[in-house]
Every structure is written in structure tokens, then in C-alpha cells.
Amino acid sequence: MAIIIDGKAIAQDIRKEAAERARILIDKGIIPCLAVILIGENPASMSYVTSKEKDLAEAGMASRDIRLPSSTTEAELLTLIKTLNDDPLVHGILVQLPLPKHINEDTIIMAIDPKKDVDGFHPLSVGNMVIGRKGFLPCTPHGVIVMLQKMNIPTSGAHAVILGRSNIVGKPLANLLIRRDINATVTVCHTGTRDFAAHTREADILIAAAGSPRLVTADMVKEGAAVIDVGVNRVEDASAKKGYRLVGDVDFAPAAEKASFITPVPGGVGLMTRAMLMQNVVEAAEESYR
Ligand code: GUN
């Protein structure tokens, strides 16, 4: 039976550290501030944004909550980003994804000043990450790495298999895992992979970021593997108060029978993502002061 990784406890430590760093800045009159832009009314996005703002407030930091209708044009959003780029009281800018179809995500991400790119999505941040230069790391992949480290899960020489090749999770995670200090060997599976279960069965570290509820069943997990579930899927559940319930990409209970470590959903990676964002916002504020 696997050790269930307590994302809540690990994230709490990171948030506490971020709050302490924020306190030092606040004492100097600098209130770390994140502008959060949400376009439209995607229920999951609304919930994420609210959580991020709550975390900031708890750490004594500020947020600019900017919610705009889905009819917002790309030009309007670009103008807003320019204003925030130029605002010295704003240290980080987060545009919640996905955006409505008529807005090009790349164009928007590239408009954010890399110094304020706390999501780590700007091509300059991505490039810095790939070549190991200092810069903002994307929150979910960074959170996964920190979780592995905090749990002392061996990564050097380990075979890590990632399901999913998104720009937000799969691709950056593959890059972080092959860094010399992590030293894993990485396989990335995606929708074009022929027999992905043949790969997952070889994984010492299995990271599911495919966005498909309970895609990973116990037979796909190697005995003793560390299983990290990045999936957050809403599935209908008439017995739940909200009418739905969150499940990961992993069929948790049977997989936990075979794994050595496993992350729960909720209570796992999602909390780490939020904590790493706090860290990036403090860092952006610290850098602005230097
Ligand atoms: N949508 C899903 N995950 C993320 C994230 O980490 N940042 C932003 N901006 N949007 C997201």
C-alpha cells in the first residue's frame, strides 16, 4: 500500500516560507501584488482564480482581481496587459487559461513582461528553464519536482514516464526532470503514442497529466512506482453537494495498492501549483526591489 503524499502539508510549508519573504518586503513598504485576469465564466477557472487570490491574501499579499466578459477582444486584453506591465505596483501578471477561442493564447502570453511572468509561460521563461538559467518556473511542473524532493523519492537514474505533452505541464516537466540535479530519464507519452501502457508499466515515476478521468488503471502501474496525478477532472456525482466530484487521471484506490507513493486528487498537485505561484509572486516582488 502506497504512502499518500500530503500535498496540503508540503504546500503549507512553501506558502509559509513565501509569507515570511513577503513580510520582509511589506516591512519595507512593498506589497507583493499579482494581477489575475479571468476572461469569461468557466466554472473551473473561476474556482482556481478565487483560490489563488485567497492564498495571496492569507500570505499578506495583494491581488488585482480583473474579471472580464467572454466578449473581451484580444486588442482590449493586450491594452490591459500593457497597462499592468507598466504599473510598478503590480509584480506579477496571471492570465487564467484557457482563453476564449477568439483570443490567441500565444499572443497574450508573449505580451506579458517576462519580469512579471509568474506563470513561467513566456517563451523567454521557457527558454531559460530549458537551458537551466534563472527565471520563473511554471507552477505545476515545479510543484511536482518539489513534491518528489520533499518526499525523498529517488529521481537520479529513475525512469519517469509522463502522460501528456501540454505546454503547461508535460513539456516543462520533461525538461525539469532531465536537469542534472534531478537526473531522471524521461519518456513523454501523448495521443500519438502507440501502446502507452507498455511505457507506464516501466515507470519508476509515473506522472499523469492527460486530463482524462481515471485513465491510469492499476495494471498500468509498476509495483513500487511513485505515482503523481496532475489530473483534475470534474465527474458527475448526484450524491455530491455540487453535483460533481473531482477525480484525477489515476484510478486512485487500486493504483495505491501497487504504488510506493501516490498523490490524491484533490489534496495533491493542485495545492502545490498554488503554493509555487505564491513563491513566484514573492520572487517577482523581490526582483523589482533589487
Ligand atoms: N490554467 C490551468 N492551469 C493554469 C496555470 O497554471 N496558469 C494559468 N494562467 N492558467 C491555467
CA of 134 to the centre of ligand 1 (A): 21
Q: Mean pLDDT, to the nearest integer, of 106-130?
A: 98
Q: CA 187, CA 161: separation in Å to the nearest integer?
A: 5
pTM: predicted TM-score of the whole model, two decimal places? 0.98
The per-residue pLDDT for 232 is 97
Decide if 241 contacts 274 (C-beta within 8 A): no
Q: Mean pLDDT, to the nearest integer, of 130-134?
A: 97
The per-residue pLDDT for 189 is 98
Q: Which of 36, 84, 96, 272 to mutate to test the pocket of ligand 1 (most atoms within 8 A of CB)?
A: 96
Check pLDDT > 80 for residue 290: no
Active-site option among 55, 117, 119, 204: 119
Q: CA 191, CA 177: separation in Å to the nearest integer?
A: 21
Concatenate the DSSP letters of all residues of 135-162 into one string. Answer: SPPPHHHHHHHHHHHHTT---TT-EEEE
Q: Is the CB of 139 under 6 A from ligand 1?
A: yes
In the chain the first and final C-alpha atoms are separated, in Å, by 48
Check pLDDT > 90 for residue 42: yes
Q: Mean pLDDT, to the nearest integer, of 266-289?
A: 97
The per-residue pLDDT for 43 is 96
Q: CA 172, CA 158: separation in Å to the nearest integer?
A: 18
Concatenate the DSSP letters of all residues of 216-276 into one string. Answer: B-GGGS-TT-EEEE---EEEE-TTSTTSEEEE-SB-HHHHHHH-SEE--SSSSHHHHHHHH
Q: Mean pLDDT, to the nearest integer, of 238-259?
A: 97
Q: Mean pLDDT, to the nearest integer, of 240-259?
A: 97
Residues in a beta bridge with 233:
247
Check pLDDT > 80 for residue 15: yes
Kind of pairing, strands 233-236 and 244-247?
A: antiparallel
The per-residue pLDDT for 289 is 84
Residue 27 annotated among the catalytic residues of the structure: no
Domains present along the chain, CATH in parentheses: 29-113 (3.40.50.10860), 139-270 (3.40.50.720)
Residues in a beta bridge with 244:
236
